[in-house]
Amino acid sequence: MEELLRLAGLIDLRNEIAGKITALIGRPAYIGHIGEYIASKIFDITLQESAAAKSIDGYFLSGQLANCSVNVKWYGKQDGLLDITSHAQPDYYLVFAGPYGSAGSSRGEIRPWLIETVYLFKADTLVMSLQQRGTKIGIATSIPKQFWNEAEIYPSQNNPRLILSAEQKKLLALFGSKMRY
């Protein structure tokens, strides 16, 4: 009984925080919606009116990728998997990822909402490369480590398609590890 009372109190706190996040971003406080909001502010992306739009979350408004479509992902850990739509591809996948981890069981693990690394994949190039390797495209598509390394734009700038400014790096650092969980 004591554990349920404690759990109920923690859920109340979580719901209070989720309400405040929802009021700020205008969408439910899910990691995906929050990631899209963060991306829109840091990378000057206009988001689709409907969060239910398939494949494309928005469009870059300025810079090297102006007018290109983007699908934003935020994963609590970097386990080498990416959800890739099997139909209409965006121009790019912008992926926020938390700490590195394996794709195995998450039992007993906390999955904090952190941005440790950011990746930018050119969607058609990624899909073509994966298909040539015989990789099945869809939910939880396994992406080779080399592809992740080449796509990284933060904290290392390995991908020249989107060069980050000092201000963008500073803003991304706001969502990184402040302590160990």
- Residue-number span of the structural domain to which 131 is assigned: 29-173
**Residue 60, pLDDT above cutoff 50:** yes
**Residue 175, pLDDT above cutoff 70:** yes
Total number of domains constituting the chain: 1
For residue 19, tell me if it sits in a domain: no
Residue linked to tokens 């590195």: 100
Percent above pLDDT 90 for the chain: 83
- Please state the pTM of the whole predicted model: 0.92
Rounded Cα gap, residues 119 and 43, in angstroms = 13
For residue 103, tell me if it sits in a domain: yes
**Residue 181, pLDDT above cutoff 50:** no
pLDDT value for 149: 98
For residue 15, tell me if it sits in a domain: no
pLDDT value for 142: 95
For residue 7, tell me if it sits in a domain: no
Residues 70-117: tens digit of each pLDDT = 999 999 999 999 999 877 899 999 999 999 876 566 677 778 899 999
Beta strands 117-122 and 152-154: pairing type?
Answer: antiparallel
The alpha carbon torsion through 47, 55, 76, 148 (nearest 10 deg) reads -110
pLDDT value for 53: 74
Rounded Cα gap, residues 10 and 7, in angstroms = 5
Element of type H or E holding 151: helix 145-151
For residue 159, tell me if it sits in a domain: yes
For residue 105, tell me if it sits in a domain: yes
